[in-house]
Amino acid sequence: MTTYHDDRTPFMYAIGWTKQHKWYLGIRYGKGCHPSDLWTTYFTSSERVAAFRAVHGEPDHVEVLFTGDREEVVQKEADYIREFDIHRCENWLNLGAGGAAFYLDELAIEKLRRPKARRHGRMLSSSELAEVEARKAHGYRRLIRPEDRRPRRSKTYEWKGECLTLNEWVNKYQMCSVHQARMRLQKGWTIEKAVTTAPRPRTVTMSP
Protein backbone atom coordinates (compact mmCIF):
# COMPACT_ATOMS: atom_id res chain seq x y z
CA MET A 1 0.00 0.00 0.00
CA THR A 2 1.38 3.41 -0.97
CA THR A 3 1.84 5.78 1.97
CA TYR A 4 2.34 9.53 1.59
CA HIS A 5 3.90 11.71 4.27
CA ASP A 6 3.47 15.46 4.55
CA ASP A 7 6.82 15.83 6.31
CA ARG A 8 8.98 14.59 3.41
CA THR A 9 9.35 14.43 -0.37
CA PRO A 10 11.38 11.31 -1.26
CA PHE A 11 13.41 11.56 -4.44
CA MET A 12 15.87 9.75 -6.70
CA TYR A 13 18.88 11.65 -8.00
CA ALA A 14 22.01 11.38 -10.12
CA ILE A 15 25.34 13.15 -9.75
CA GLY A 16 28.34 12.97 -12.04
CA TRP A 17 31.88 14.07 -12.78
CA THR A 18 31.84 14.38 -16.57
CA LYS A 19 35.61 14.75 -17.05
CA GLN A 20 36.27 11.59 -15.05
CA HIS A 21 33.22 9.75 -16.48
CA LYS A 22 32.09 8.81 -12.99
CA TRP A 23 28.46 8.77 -11.88
CA TYR A 24 26.31 7.89 -8.93
CA LEU A 25 22.59 7.35 -8.54
CA GLY A 26 20.86 7.33 -5.18
CA ILE A 27 17.62 7.89 -3.32
CA ARG A 28 16.64 9.82 -0.21
CA TYR A 29 13.43 9.25 1.75
CA GLY A 30 14.15 10.16 5.38
CA LYS A 31 11.97 12.40 7.51
CA GLY A 32 12.11 16.04 6.41
CA CYS A 33 13.88 15.30 3.11
CA HIS A 34 13.21 17.48 0.05
CA PRO A 35 14.75 17.62 -3.46
CA SER A 36 16.12 21.10 -2.70
CA ASP A 37 18.44 19.46 -0.14
CA LEU A 38 20.49 17.81 -2.89
CA TRP A 39 24.04 19.14 -2.84
CA THR A 40 23.08 22.04 -0.57
CA THR A 41 22.64 20.25 2.77
CA TYR A 42 22.68 16.62 1.60
CA PHE A 43 25.71 15.13 -0.16
CA THR A 44 24.70 11.42 -0.31
CA SER A 45 25.46 8.80 2.32
CA SER A 46 27.89 6.87 0.09
CA GLU A 47 31.44 6.51 1.40
CA ARG A 48 32.70 5.89 -2.14
CA VAL A 49 31.18 9.18 -3.29
CA ALA A 50 32.72 10.99 -0.32
CA ALA A 51 36.16 9.53 -1.11
CA PHE A 52 35.88 10.36 -4.82
CA ARG A 53 34.67 13.88 -4.00
CA ALA A 54 37.63 14.45 -1.68
CA VAL A 55 40.04 13.74 -4.55
CA HIS A 56 38.22 15.22 -7.56
CA GLY A 57 36.11 17.97 -6.02
CA GLU A 58 32.43 18.75 -6.54
CA PRO A 59 30.40 17.02 -9.28
CA ASP A 60 29.49 19.15 -12.29
CA HIS A 61 26.21 17.32 -12.87
CA VAL A 62 23.58 17.24 -10.10
CA GLU A 63 20.00 16.32 -10.96
CA VAL A 64 16.79 15.13 -9.31
CA LEU A 65 15.32 12.44 -11.57
CA PHE A 66 12.17 11.33 -9.79
CA THR A 67 9.99 12.21 -6.79
CA GLY A 68 7.31 10.13 -5.10
CA ASP A 69 6.65 8.30 -1.87
CA ARG A 70 9.21 5.99 -0.24
CA GLU A 71 7.94 2.81 -1.91
CA GLU A 72 7.95 4.43 -5.34
CA VAL A 73 11.53 5.75 -5.22
CA VAL A 74 12.84 2.47 -3.80
CA GLN A 75 11.05 0.50 -6.53
CA LYS A 76 12.26 2.88 -9.24
CA GLU A 77 15.86 2.39 -8.16
CA ALA A 78 15.43 -1.39 -7.93
CA ASP A 79 13.94 -1.54 -11.43
CA TYR A 80 16.97 0.27 -12.85
CA ILE A 81 19.35 -2.10 -11.09
CA ARG A 82 17.64 -5.23 -12.39
CA GLU A 83 17.43 -4.02 -15.98
CA PHE A 84 20.82 -2.37 -16.45
CA ASP A 85 23.11 -3.95 -13.83
CA ILE A 86 24.79 -0.59 -13.25
CA HIS A 87 26.36 -1.59 -9.92
CA ARG A 88 28.79 -3.73 -11.97
CA CYS A 89 29.77 -0.92 -14.34
CA GLU A 90 33.14 0.70 -13.69
CA ASN A 91 31.79 4.14 -14.64
CA TRP A 92 29.42 4.10 -11.68
CA LEU A 93 30.27 4.48 -8.01
CA ASN A 94 27.27 2.41 -6.95
CA LEU A 95 28.12 -0.86 -5.24
CA GLY A 96 24.81 -2.63 -4.76
CA ALA A 97 21.84 -0.63 -3.54
CA GLY A 98 22.22 2.03 -6.22
CA GLY A 99 22.16 2.01 -9.99
CA ALA A 100 20.79 3.90 -12.95
CA ALA A 101 19.14 3.16 -16.23
CA PHE A 102 21.52 5.16 -18.38
CA TYR A 103 25.12 5.97 -19.16
CA LEU A 104 25.70 9.69 -19.65
CA ASP A 105 28.27 10.90 -22.14
CA GLU A 106 28.80 14.55 -23.08
CA LEU A 107 26.12 14.43 -25.80
CA ALA A 108 23.56 12.93 -23.42
CA ILE A 109 24.39 15.52 -20.76
CA GLU A 110 23.77 18.34 -23.21
CA LYS A 111 20.43 16.83 -24.16
CA LEU A 112 19.55 16.45 -20.50
CA ARG A 113 20.11 20.16 -19.97
CA ARG A 114 18.09 21.12 -23.05
CA PRO A 115 15.66 18.26 -23.79
CA LYS A 116 14.02 18.56 -27.21
CA ALA A 117 12.64 15.08 -27.77
CA ARG A 118 8.92 14.47 -27.57
CA ARG A 119 6.77 11.45 -26.92
CA HIS A 120 3.01 11.44 -27.42
CA GLY A 121 2.97 15.23 -27.83
CA ARG A 122 4.78 16.07 -24.59
CA MET A 123 8.36 16.91 -23.66
CA LEU A 124 10.47 14.03 -22.37
CA SER A 125 11.78 14.33 -18.84
CA SER A 126 15.55 14.23 -18.41
CA SER A 127 15.45 10.70 -17.01
CA GLU A 128 13.30 9.45 -19.91
CA LEU A 129 15.60 11.09 -22.43
CA ALA A 130 18.64 9.51 -20.80
CA GLU A 131 16.98 6.08 -20.97
CA VAL A 132 16.31 6.56 -24.68
CA GLU A 133 19.93 7.55 -25.31
CA ALA A 134 21.18 4.51 -23.41
CA ARG A 135 18.93 2.13 -25.31
CA LYS A 136 20.13 3.55 -28.63
CA ALA A 137 23.77 3.21 -27.58
CA HIS A 138 23.44 -0.33 -26.24
CA GLY A 139 20.91 -1.71 -28.70
CA TYR A 140 18.05 -2.13 -26.27
CA ARG A 141 14.52 -2.46 -27.60
CA ARG A 142 12.32 0.63 -27.95
CA LEU A 143 11.41 2.20 -24.62
CA ILE A 144 7.75 1.67 -23.74
CA ARG A 145 6.38 3.14 -20.56
CA PRO A 146 4.06 0.88 -18.52
CA GLU A 147 1.16 3.29 -19.04
CA ASP A 148 1.69 3.09 -22.83
CA ARG A 149 1.38 -0.69 -22.99
CA ARG A 150 -1.89 -2.02 -24.34
CA PRO A 151 -3.50 -4.58 -22.03
CA ARG A 152 -3.61 -8.04 -23.55
CA ARG A 153 -7.00 -9.68 -23.89
CA SER A 154 -7.43 -13.39 -24.54
CA LYS A 155 -9.65 -14.55 -27.39
CA THR A 156 -13.32 -14.68 -26.44
CA TYR A 157 -16.11 -17.02 -27.55
CA GLU A 158 -19.77 -16.00 -27.72
CA TRP A 159 -22.55 -18.38 -26.71
CA LYS A 160 -25.95 -17.87 -25.06
CA GLY A 161 -25.48 -14.12 -25.18
CA GLU A 162 -22.23 -14.29 -23.17
CA CYS A 163 -18.75 -13.48 -24.44
CA LEU A 164 -16.12 -15.27 -22.33
CA THR A 165 -12.58 -16.54 -22.71
CA LEU A 166 -11.93 -20.26 -23.01
CA ASN A 167 -10.68 -20.40 -19.41
CA GLU A 168 -13.86 -18.72 -18.21
CA TRP A 169 -16.11 -21.12 -20.15
CA VAL A 170 -14.22 -24.16 -18.82
CA ASN A 171 -14.37 -22.87 -15.23
CA LYS A 172 -18.09 -22.23 -15.60
CA TYR A 173 -19.06 -25.77 -16.69
CA GLN A 174 -16.10 -27.76 -15.30
CA MET A 175 -16.65 -30.64 -17.72
CA CYS A 176 -13.13 -30.81 -19.13
CA SER A 177 -9.72 -29.19 -18.93
CA VAL A 178 -8.69 -26.06 -20.83
CA HIS A 179 -6.27 -28.15 -22.89
CA GLN A 180 -9.02 -30.60 -23.88
CA ALA A 181 -11.36 -27.75 -24.85
CA ARG A 182 -8.64 -26.07 -26.90
CA MET A 183 -7.87 -29.29 -28.79
CA ARG A 184 -11.56 -29.74 -29.54
CA LEU A 185 -11.85 -26.22 -30.93
CA GLN A 186 -8.86 -26.88 -33.16
CA LYS A 187 -10.73 -29.90 -34.55
CA GLY A 188 -13.68 -27.69 -35.47
CA TRP A 189 -15.97 -28.25 -32.49
CA THR A 190 -18.34 -25.47 -31.45
CA ILE A 191 -17.67 -23.71 -28.16
CA GLU A 192 -20.86 -25.23 -26.72
CA LYS A 193 -19.81 -28.79 -27.52
CA ALA A 194 -16.16 -28.19 -26.58
CA VAL A 195 -16.85 -27.07 -23.00
CA THR A 196 -19.94 -29.15 -22.14
CA THR A 197 -18.79 -32.57 -23.36
CA ALA A 198 -17.21 -34.74 -20.71
CA PRO A 199 -14.14 -36.73 -21.76
CA ARG A 200 -14.66 -40.38 -22.56
CA PRO A 201 -13.89 -42.73 -19.68
CA ARG A 202 -10.79 -44.78 -20.22
CA THR A 203 -11.29 -48.49 -20.74
CA VAL A 204 -8.75 -50.89 -19.33
CA THR A 205 -8.34 -54.24 -21.03
CA MET A 206 -7.22 -56.99 -18.72
CA SER A 207 -4.98 -59.61 -20.26
CA PRO A 208 -6.14 -63.22 -19.71
SS3 label, residue 65: strand
pLDDT band at 63 (very low <50, low <70, confident <90, very high): very high
Q: Specify the pTM.
A: 0.46
CA geometry: angle at 67 spanning 1 and 70, to 5°? Answer: 35
Beta bridge partner(s), residue 196:
none
Average pLDDT score over the chain:
76
**Angle at which helices 106-113 and 126-138 cross, to 10°:** 150
Cβ(102)–Cβ(131) under 8 Å?
yes
pLDDT band at 185 (very low <50, low <70, confident <90, very high): very high
Q: Which helix (H) or strand (E) holds 43?
A: none
Portion of the chain with pLDDT greater than 70, in percent: 63
Q: What is the mean pLDDT of residues 43-61?
A: 90
pLDDT at 206: 61
Question: Tens digit of pLDDT for each residue in 67-121?
Answer: 998 888 888 887 776 676 676 777 888 765 443 333 344 444 454 444 444 444 4
Q: State how far the alpha carbon of 48 is from the alpha carbons of 29, 39, 129, 142, in Å.
A: 20, 16, 27, 33
- DSSP state letter for 203: -
Give 31's contacts (C-beta < 8 A, 6+ positions apart). 5, 7, 8
Angstrom CA distances, 155 to 54, 165, 167, 169, 171, stand at 61, 6, 10, 12, 15
Enumerate residues 6+ apart whose C-beta is below 8 A from 59: 15, 16, 17, 39, 53
* Mean pLDDT value of segment 130-151: 54
Cα 81 to Cα 58: distance, rounded to the nearest angstrom: 25
Residue 7: pLDDT above 60?
yes
Q: How confident is the model at residue 200 (pLDDT cuts 50, 70, 90)?
A: confident
Phi-psi region at 95: left, alpha or beta (left = phi > 0; alpha = psi -120 to 50): alpha
Render pLDDT for 160-180 as a digit per residue (tens, 0 to 9).
889 999 999 999 999 899 999
d(CA 52, CA 195): 67
